[in-house]
Amino acid sequence: MFLTGLAALAVVPTLPTAARDLDGVALFPLVAGCFVAASLLGGVLGGHWADRSGAHRPLAAGMVLAVATLLVSAASTSIWQLAAGRFLDGLAGGMVAVSINAAIGQAYPDRLRARALALMSACWIVPSLVGPPLAGLVAGWWSWRAVFFGLAVLTLVPALVVVALLRGRSWPPAPAPSADRPRSPALMVATAVSAGAALGQYGVSGWDMRHLLFVAGGLVLLVVFAPRLLPPGTWRAGRGLPATVLLRGLGSGVFFTLEAFVPLLLVTDRGAPPVLIGLAFTGAAVAWAAASWAQSRLLEDRPRHHLVVAGALVLATAVVIAVAGTLSAMPAFVAASAMVVAAIGMGMLAPSLTVLSLSHSPADRQGYASGAMQTAQNLGQITVLGLSSALLNACLGAGSTDSAGYAAAFGLLLAPCLLSTLLAARTRIT
């Protein structure tokens, strides 16, 4: 998990530079969105595989695939190869994350599971602090390809050790699939949603008939299949769990889009060094952790839906800062600071929504609620990023300057922020 976190957090700051060098800035949303779309599919695939054959097989397969996909991305000669690498990386990441949780459940006694899960969460702390700035330094002094190759070499030996240990250890047999847990339909739905998301991300990169057809095909798949992964009433913000799930998607979409487009703005329009982008990611990680701690300790007596409102307003503030950062008179660190402010908002918003989702669900449905929240997060990231990408490319296609296009794309993010503020009361516990 430490290596998975290091690879995930170190790679992201280098992607704008890679897209620029591969002449694929217009397709950058596809590169960013492929990982999210594939992680949804990888999570479902890994969970079903772990239930059928034990968690050791999808975990080993995910580790091997993680090394292979780093090599695919490092050797990219086109933006399409980089997008394929990111898709495989999302598939591996989803499989590993779900398999680790399943492995803890299958291999550890009850008294050790909570400690094992806490250790998995702690494994992300150091990567969030050192991964992005270190990757920025390597990309600035050497090459973005060196980041991918270095991570592949770093991951190879531990991955082989894990695979060898899993093969040599006896594993408790997985329980037989129960009749009330359909597996193939859920996997088909996840595949359709991932395909729809990928088609949509490619379609918004242009405005000719071919791109519009891809957008239409992606929308059809999402409209038909995505509701099957979410609670009934999510799209109309039904009170309780549906509204909570919807707001998780909206907030995550805003944060993910800022996290994707602010570095792209800094690289393509401001010529900022990669190390600045890495520091922005590290600052965002620290700010998220600090805000999360504050809401759990200093603000624990406040009603949770009030914290949702506060988090959404802080996200809106981050959007305004990002818009201001597109002005040529503003220094580059202004735009970079939008990521840190947005992380403060998410540090308040995301844990509060998670607590509300569990409070709205009976004990035997909390797993379903957690899965719905994760699915909404992925769908929100893909949808909001796609809409902002479409607006950015439309502005650039109409002859607008890069700064004006980014300002329009950022300005669009105010809509989900304000909608979250208005709908927060529907998440409260009655």
Query: Are 335 and 357 members of one domain?
Result: yes
**3 state SS of 183:** coil
What lies within 8 Å, CB to CB, of 41 at 6+ separation is 90, 91, 94, 190, 191, 193, 194
Per-residue pLDDT tens digits for 99-155? 776 777 677 776 776 667 667 767 777 887 788 888 878 877 888 898 889 888 888
pLDDT above 70 for 405: yes
| 331 shares a domain with 211 | no
* Domain end point (choices 157, 176, 195): 176
CATH of residue 356's domain is 1.20.1250.20
Lowest mean pLDDT among 189-193, 376-380, 410-414: 189-193
Question: And the tokens for 96?
Answer: 């590993």
Instruction: Tell me: do 110 and 172 sit in the same domain.
Output: yes
Per the CB < 8 A criterion, the answer to whether 319 and 413 are in contact is: yes
CA distance 258 to 288: 14
| In a shared domain, residues 341 and 410 | yes
* Same domain as 205, residue 119: no
Cβ neighbours around 153 below 10 Å, total = 12
User: What pLDDT sits at residue 177?
Assistant: 47
Provide the pLDDT for residue 371: 65
Within this chain, do residues 162 and 206 fall inside the same structural domain, yes or no? no
Convert the pLDDT of each residue in 346-396 to its tens digit.
988 888 887 788 778 776 665 567 667 777 888 888 889 888 888 888 887
* Residue 424 contacts residue 308 (beta carbons within 8 Å): yes
Q: Residue 335 in contact with residue 270, Cβ under 8 Å?
A: yes
Domain residue limits at 70: 1-176
Domains identified in the chain, total number: 3
Statement to judge: residues 200 and 158 lie in one domain: no
Q: Pick 114 or 234 by higher pLDDT.
A: 234
At residue 416, the pLDDT reads: 94
Number of H helices, E strands in the chain: 17, 0
Query: What's the rounded mean pLDDT across residues 214-241?
Result: 83
If asked whether residues 171 and 256 sit together in one domain, one would say no
Mean pLDDT in residue range 207-227:
80
pLDDT of 168 reads 58
Please check whether residues 189 and 171 belong to one and the same domain. no
Q: Are residues 290 and 197 in the same domain?
A: no
Distance CA 257, CA 310 (A): 20
User: Are 206 and 27 a contacting pair, CB within 8 Å?
Assistant: no
Q: How far is CA 170 from the centre of its chain?
A: 34
Q: Which residue has the higher pLDDT, 300 or 23?
A: 23
CA–CA gap between residue 137 and residue 50 (Å, rounded):
38
CA atoms within 13 A on the CB side of 72: 17
Summarize pLDDT for 18-70 with one digit per residue, the tens. Answer: 888 888 877 787 787 788 778 878 877 777 777 677 777 888 888 888 888 88
Q: Which amino acid is at 221?
A: L
- pLDDT for res 364: 61
169 pLDDT above the threshold of 70: no
| pTM score, whole prediction | 0.75
Using the predicted structure, report yes or no on whether residue 340 has a pLDDT greater than 70.
yes
- Read off the pLDDT of each residue in 233-249 and give the average, rounded to a whole number: 88
Q: pLDDT > 90: what percent of the chain?
A: 14
**201 and 300, same domain (yes or no):** no
Most confident residue range from 74-83, 164-173, 228-237: 74-83
Query: Do residues 35 and 86 lie in contact, with contact meaning Cβ atoms separated by under 8 Å?
Result: yes
Say if residue 316's pLDDT is above 90: yes
Say how far apart CA 363 and CA 2 lie, in whole Å.
31
Separation in Å, CA 302 to CA 126, 223, 289, 295: 31, 36, 19, 9
Give me the chain's average pLDDT, please: 81
Question: Where among 176, 193, 219 does a domain terminate?
Answer: 176
Q: What angle do CA 339, 342, 345 make, to 5 degrees?
A: 155
DSSP calls for 359-415: HTS-GGGHHHHHHHHHHHHHHHHHHHHHHHHHHHHHHHHTT--HHHHHHHHHHTTHH
Claim to verify: residue 218 and residue 161 sit in the same structural domain: no
Domain C-terminal end among 176, 197, 213: 176
Lowest mean pLDDT among 121-125, 232-236, 241-245, 308-312: 121-125
